[in-house]
Structure 1
Amino acid sequence: MDHSGYTLMTYTTPSEKELYDALSPELRRQVDARRLARENAGKGNAALTSDPDTAKPVWASDSQK
């Protein structure tokens, strides 16, 4: 079996850290801002899923109020 293609790919493809380190300072700021926004959005979603009122289906709400 010939694994030379995979081996070549692993040696020539930069890691995520190497790619980030090679970015210009402006692009790093943009990447950092997007990562922070994504992280904050994830925290907001986690807060919604942990709220017991939002865990109920919409049709299960008390409609006689």
Structure 2
Amino acid sequence: MPINLWGMALAGLLVGFGTAFGSGCTSGHGVCGLARLSPRSAAAVATFLVAAVATTTFIRHAI
């Protein structure tokens, strides 16, 4: 896939916003939060997975 610098910059901003909004990063919720059996981390990980599947499906089939 060709590299789109504006798209990468937007993706970086969205990741930063999501990390701040979700009070943690994917690995923090996925590794530490799930190990503690935190319901909030389980919800965050489920949200991350659904968003990843939806994004991948959209990118691979719509573009």
**Superposition TM-score tier, normalisation by shorter sequence:** 0.3 to 0.5
Return the structure number with greater helix share: 2
The structure with higher relative contact order (CA 8 Å, sep 6+) is 2
TM-score normalised by the chain length of structure 2: 0.40
Q: So what's the TM-score if we normalise by structure 1?
A: 0.39
